[in-house]
Amino acid sequence: MQFDPSMSIITPVTQLLGINHPILLAPMAYVADGRLVAAVDAAGGFGILGGGYGEEKWLLRELDLLDRSKARFGVGFITWRLAKQPRLLDLVLERRPAAVMLSVGSQAPFIDRIKRTAAIVICQVQSVALAKEAVAAGAEILVAQGAEAGGHGVTRGLVSLVPEIVDALGGRKPVVAAGGIADGRGLAAALMLGAAGVLMGTRFYATQEAAAAQGAKERIRETTGDDTLRRVLPRTAVIAGEAVGLIHDIPSAQDVIERVVREASALITQWPSKTPA
């Protein structure tokens, strides 16, 4: 089946970020580099550069690449690390990103600075309390991160966390689901839970453009969700979430996005006909 660009799924997130598909690239440190971000942008998603650990030389190099590519992009920070190097936010804002994503730590001190540049503030949260706190501070998009994710600071399962946050906010801000999502079934399920899009890390880790060793990509492709565990490991570790069990190839970022949208669109369209009378 050929990909039909008209299959775009329109949500508050696609409208707010000006993208064709409600799929965001997680800002994986050193893996979500300028090349991968640009590829996601070209495919109609929203790429977020992994500024996480605050490596200034790496960050500036990748921002230069994005300037040359003319891609629309976001930059993500681990907030408690950004607090130790606040000047990095100024360096990023000078490049006029479409959005800045903050996760783990107090986000409030940075939000006003970001919004003054017209960049959209995305805050990743792991509980209802954190969601309310982020909205009160000025967040415009929330990422609800479930325990299935490969990133930092998760405590709750995604299936109950997303609708609970959606209900608590009463539709005031769009919510993006993150954790264990790697295909169209995940996107369709997230939309049914009330999310307005998905943020994927592990699925994009195992793509041709990702800035990761081929061996790490193959490890993701070959393993299952049962093989994952959450503990402190050397940085040399492969950091991936439970979605590994849904990944069986290493395609391009464009192939990933087209496949996810195609599958989700088909499921959403077919669902009424599959519902028992």
**Residue 136 lies inside a defined structural domain of this protein:** yes
- The enclosing domain of 236 has a CATH number of 3.20.20.70
**Residue 3 lies inside a defined structural domain of this protein:** no
Residue 26, CB half-sphere, CA atoms under 13 Å: how many?
Answer: 32
How many Å apart are CA 108 and CA 112, to the nearest integer?
8
Cross-strand pairs, 23: 198
**Residue 182 lies inside a defined structural domain of this protein:** yes
Closest C-alpha among 178, 106, 105 to residue 141: 178
pLDDT at site 272? 64
Tally of structural domains, the chain: 1
**Residue 13 lies inside a defined structural domain of this protein:** yes
pLDDT in tens, 147-177: 888 877 667 899 999 999 999 999 999 999 9
**Residue 56 lies inside a defined structural domain of this protein:** yes
**Residue 1 lies inside a defined structural domain of this protein:** no
Q: 167 lies in which domain range?
A: 9-271
pLDDT at site 236? 45
For 148-169, b where at least 16 C-beta lie within 10 A, e where not — what string?
bbbbbbbebebbebbbbbbeeb
Contact 88, 77 (CB under 8 A): yes
Q: What is the pLDDT tens value at each position of the chain, 277 positions in all? A: 445 555 779 999 999 999 999 999 999 989 999 999 999 999 999 999 998 777 899 999 999 999 999 999 999 999 988 999 999 999 999 999 999 999 988 888 999 999 999 999 999 999 999 999 999 999 999 999 998 888 776 678 999 999 999 999 999 999 999 999 999 999 999 999 999 999 999 999 999 999 999 999 999 898 877 666 666 555 845 578 888 899 999 999 999 999 999 999 999 988 766 555 5
How many Å apart are CA 238 and CA 118, to the nearest integer?
35
How many Å apart are CA 124 and CA 220, to the nearest integer?
24
**Residue 146 lies inside a defined structural domain of this protein:** yes
How many Å apart are CA 110 and CA 102, to the nearest integer?
9
**Residue 231 lies inside a defined structural domain of this protein:** yes
pLDDT in tens, 88-113: 999 999 999 999 999 988 888 999 99
Contact 68, 40 (CB under 8 A): no
